[in-house]
């Protein structure tokens, strides 16, 4: 756990979140500012700053995030969905604990803004 990390606190249940699914390695909860009818954040239980660091240090966790995303999408009957990692402030990362966004339930345009 990293001091001051919002998502570490959510994983530790120190800050409330709307948790929708969990696996051995990951926790999924609703984004507080949803950008689509389904907007879930899926985070590794162990702190890593971004997706690349996670992939190097705990590669099984990357697979686990996408498996959980697929399970949530299937359980909600989503016909399509988008999974996104923002890395770095320029790409819109605001919480520096790796997290996979799962967005769905509406039609999504491409390219993203």
Q: Mask of contacts with Zn ion, 82-101, x by CB under 5 A?
A: ---------------x----
Catalytic residues: 99
Residue 50 touching ligand AMP (CB under 6 A): no
Of 10 and 25, which CB lies nearer to ligand AMP in the complex structure?
10
Measured between alpha carbons, how far is 7 from 39 in angstroms, rounded to an integer?
Answer: 16
Q: Of 79, 94, 107, 109, which lies in the binding site for ligand AMP, with binding defined by CB under 6 A?
A: 94
Exposure string over 33-57, b if 16+ CB within 10 A, otherwise e = eeebebbbbbbbbbbbbbbeebeee
């Amino acid at each position: 756990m990293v001091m001051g990390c919002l998502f570490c606190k959510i994983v530790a249940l120190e800050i409330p979140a709307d948790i929708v699914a969990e696996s051995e390695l990951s926790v999924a909860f609703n984004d507080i500012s949803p950008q689509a009818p389904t907007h879930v954040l899926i985070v590794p239980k162990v702190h890593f700053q971004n997706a690349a660091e996670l992939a190097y240090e705990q590669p099984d966790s990357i697979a686990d995030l996408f498996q959980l995303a697929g399970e949530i999408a299937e359980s909600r009957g989503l016909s399509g969905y988008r999974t996104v990692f923002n890395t770095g402030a320029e790409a819109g990362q605001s919480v520096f604990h790796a997290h996979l966004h799962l967005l769905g339930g509406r039609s999504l345009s491409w390219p993203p803004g």
